[in-house]
């Protein structure tokens, strides 16, 4: 599963498993109101794949038609489940602004 995760996402999942540990400064760059803003690369964008993401609560913000990538939001508690989906190739934080 770690090969699918940007190091910042992997660190966040580990922190959540340990409950009570401090959030890193990097997390503030892509987490708002308990939801992570993410870039998710997929093996395919079939309707069934998108349905799996939405079932987890993934909110699509941007769906570029030229790539197998989505930008969206997901509750941080669901990140590990997202990484376990077979259609997910890689998850990275979507960092906006400066």
Is the pTM value of this prediction over 0.85?
Answer: yes
Domain residues of the chain, as ranges?
2-93
Which pLDDT score, from 0 to 100, does residue 1 have?
72
Which CATH superfamily includes the segment(s) 2-93? Peptidase S8 propeptide/proteinase inhibitor I9 (3.30.70.80)
Within 10 angstroms of residue 16's Cβ, the number of other Cβ atoms is 14
- Summarised one tens digit per residue, pLDDT across range 43-95 is 999 999 999 999 999 999 999 999 999 999 999 999 999 999 999 999 999 98
Per-residue pLDDT at 24: 82
Rounded Cα distance, 40 and 83, in Å: 9
For strand 31-32 and strand 59-62, is the pairing parallel, antiparallel, or unpaired?
unpaired
């Amino acid at each position: 599963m770690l090969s699918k995760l940007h190091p910042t996402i992997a660190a966040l999942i580990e922190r959540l498993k340990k409950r009570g540990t401090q959030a890193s400064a990097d997390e503030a760059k892509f987490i708002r109101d308990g939801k992570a803003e993410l870039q998710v690369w997929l093996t395919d964008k079939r309707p069934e794949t998108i349905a799996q993401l939405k079932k987890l609560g993934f909110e699509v913000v941007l769906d570029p038609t030229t790539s197998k990538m989505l930008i969206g939001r997901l509750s941080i508690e669901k990140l590990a489940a997202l990484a376990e989906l077979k259609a997910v190739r890689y998850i990275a934080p979507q960092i906006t602004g400066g």
